[in-house]
């Protein structure tokens, strides 16, 4: 898809939709309120129509009728089968990815496993753009690693661009593990994963990627860049549903060298022998811990199948075009009202969401929700994020988000809202 010169009319948004070869995918999602502007595929993807029927089938046909027989009729292998689908989206082998637990728990498992395998190395390296849960967990891992271990957090200069050069400079023979979000949650900055992987390896460090904002939004080539370890959530661009389980990637050659520190029975070599001693299963299986959560695993196939059908190259091409369009409209309608851009301008350095800044971000987000039928996403202190999820977002969605945001600010509609934070933003 060639970049399009944009124009600021609503007619042009419709024209872009008419030309969009991925537009028919929108019909594969439940769109209950066509007027609602939902640019939150970076938080919770929309419900795929097929996901609802997968759940119905699981509950009524499998659980309801087959009862415990379901485990031998396809349930037990779901973590592997879904992992194999995710592997195709992230450039990995089917036996290198498995679905289980949450991103936070998986990060803990892989980070501690990596640190324990890197004897004599005592530093874990990360940046301050990483998701807070990751920082808390890496800190715990450093404590559990031993009295000499420490977490070193490299600061970004502007809270937008990742400090790649400083990270490269901080890597040394003491570094056990570097762990970063490939696409960072606030600014959408996206690291050069191949370059950092090579730099980490030169110093003998392992690299653990959090792909939560990258999987399903940018094409990933974990094998070809020699990636070691990764985790990621499935409820954002993969549309797995609220709280759907996360995935774990471990490069094949590392699988037998790492031990899962939460060594539960489902990661045991022969769980149904009920032996008293833990013997890890071979391969990716050892990174499982407890019983697969079937109710939340089953809908995930629907979103993955849609992404595989669309192809990540086409998804990325549309995502770049949509975020470019959003930035173009920002210049036309929002920059003159004092809204700043808090994402990289160069599409090569960002994922599929764009962050804007405004000192009244919180109250603006409340007005968007209550007066404008735009579901907002506010991140402290002043970030408003809008994501293009190419499978279900139209160009008209983007146009409407900007016009409604413009109206809220231009007419001062946010002034009637309080300045206190609600529980979930």
Of 330 and 378, CB closest to ligand PLP? 378
The count of other CB atoms within 10 Å of the CB of residue 253 is 10
Q: Which of 6, 29, 131, 189 does the annotation list as catalytic?
A: 131
The count of other CB atoms within 10 Å of the CB of residue 296 is 18
Of 23 and 161, CB closest to ligand PLP? 161
| Residue 233 near ligand PLP by CB under 6 A | yes
| Residue 6 near ligand PLP by CB under 6 A | no
Q: What angle do CA 293, 294, 297 make, to 5 degrees?
A: 85
Of 209 and 333, CB closest to ligand PLP? 209
CB of 104 to ligand PLP, least distance (A): 3
| Residue 127 near ligand PLP by CB under 6 A | no
Cβ-proximal residue to ligand PLP, closest one? 104
**Rounded distance, CA 115 to CA 29, Å?**
42
Q: If DSSP codes are grouped into helix, strand and coil, which group holds residue 280?
A: strand
Q: Is 328 a catalytic residue?
A: no
| Residue 289 near ligand PLP by CB under 6 A | no
**Rounded distance, CA 5 to CA 85, Å?**
36
| Residue 268 near ligand PLP by CB under 6 A | no
Identify residues 132-191 at the interface with ligand PLP (CB under 6 A). 133-134, 181, 185
Q: Which of 210, 228, 377, 382 does the annotation list as catalytic?
A: 210
**What DSSP string describes 27-53?**
GGB--S-TT-EE--TTTSPPPBHHHHH
CB burial readout 82-93, b (16+ within 10 A) else e = bbbbbbebbbbe
List the one residue from 20, 96, 210, 382 that touches ligand PLP (CB under 6 A): 210
| Residue 377 near ligand PLP by CB under 6 A | no
Q: Mask 304-323, x = binds ligand PLP (CB under 6 A)? A: --------------------
The count of other CB atoms within 10 Å of the CB of residue 65 is 9
Note whether 106 and 113 are within 8 A (CB). Answer: no
Helix segments in 37-191, DSSP class H: 49-56, 78-90, 103-117, 132-145, 164-170
CB of 285 to ligand PLP, least distance (A): 21
The count of other CB atoms within 10 Å of the CB of residue 135 is 16
List the one residue from 85, 121, 213, 363 that touches ligand PLP (CB under 6 A): 213
List the one residue from 1, 52, 93, 104 that touches ligand PLP (CB under 6 A): 104
Query: Omega into 332 within 30° of 0, i.e. cis?
Result: no
Interface ranges with ligand PLP (CB under 6 A): 102-104, 131, 133-134, 181, 185, 210, 212-213, 233, 246
Give me the active site residues, please: 131, 210, 235-236, 385
């Amino acid at each position: 898809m060639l970049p399009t010169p944009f124009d600021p009319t609503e007619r042009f948004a419709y024209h872009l939709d008419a030309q969009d070869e991925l537009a028919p995918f929108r019909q594969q999602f439940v769109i209950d309120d066509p007027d609602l502007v939902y640019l939150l595929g970076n938080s919770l993807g929309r419900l795929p129509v097929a996901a609802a029927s997968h759940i119905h089938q699981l509950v009524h046909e499998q659980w309801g009728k087959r009862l415990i027989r379901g485990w031998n009729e396809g349930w037990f292998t779901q973590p592997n089968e879904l992992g194999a689908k995710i592997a195709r989206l992230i450039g990995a082998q089917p036996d290198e990815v498995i679905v289980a637990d949450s991103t936070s728990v998986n990060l803990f498992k892989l980070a501690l496993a990596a640190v324990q395998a890197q004897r004599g190395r005592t530093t874990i390296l990360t940046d301050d753009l990483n998701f807070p849960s990751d920082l808390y967990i890496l800190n715990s891992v450093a404590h559990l690693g031993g009295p000499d271990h420490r977490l070193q957090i490299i600061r970004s200069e502007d809270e937008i661009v990742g400090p790649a050069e400083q990270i490269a400079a901080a890597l040394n023979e003491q570094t056990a593990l570097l762990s970063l979000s490939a696409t960072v949650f606030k600014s959408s900055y996206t690291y050069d994963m191949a370059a950092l992987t090579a730099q980490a390896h030169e110093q003998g460090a392992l690299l653990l990627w959090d792909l939560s904002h990258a999987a399903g939004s940018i094409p990933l080539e974990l094998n070809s860049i020699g990636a070691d370890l990764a985790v990621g959530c499935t409820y954002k661009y993969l549309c797995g549903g609220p709280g759907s389980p996360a995935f774990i990637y471990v490069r094949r050659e590392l699988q037998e060298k790492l031990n899962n520190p939460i060594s539960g029975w489902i990661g045991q070599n022969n769980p149904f022998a009920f032996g008293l001693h833990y013997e890890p299963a071979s391969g990716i299986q050892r990174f499982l811990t407890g019983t697969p959560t079937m109710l939340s695993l089953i809908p995930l196939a629907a979103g993955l199948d849609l992404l595989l059908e669309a192809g990540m190259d086409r998804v990325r091409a549309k995502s770049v075009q949509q975020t470019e369009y959003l930035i173009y409209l920002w210049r036309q309608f929002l920059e003159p009202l004092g809204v700043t851009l808090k994402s990289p301008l160069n599409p090569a350095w960002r994922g599929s969401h764009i962050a804007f800044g405004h000192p009244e971000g919180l109250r603006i987000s409340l007005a968007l929700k209550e007066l404008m039928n735009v579901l907002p996403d506010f991140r402290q202190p002043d970030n408003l994020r809008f994501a293009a999820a190419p499978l279900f977002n139209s160009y008209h969605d983007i146009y409407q988000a900007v016009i409604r945001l413009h109206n809220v600010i231009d007419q001062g509609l946010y002034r009637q809202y309080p300045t206190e934070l609600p529980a979930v933003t």
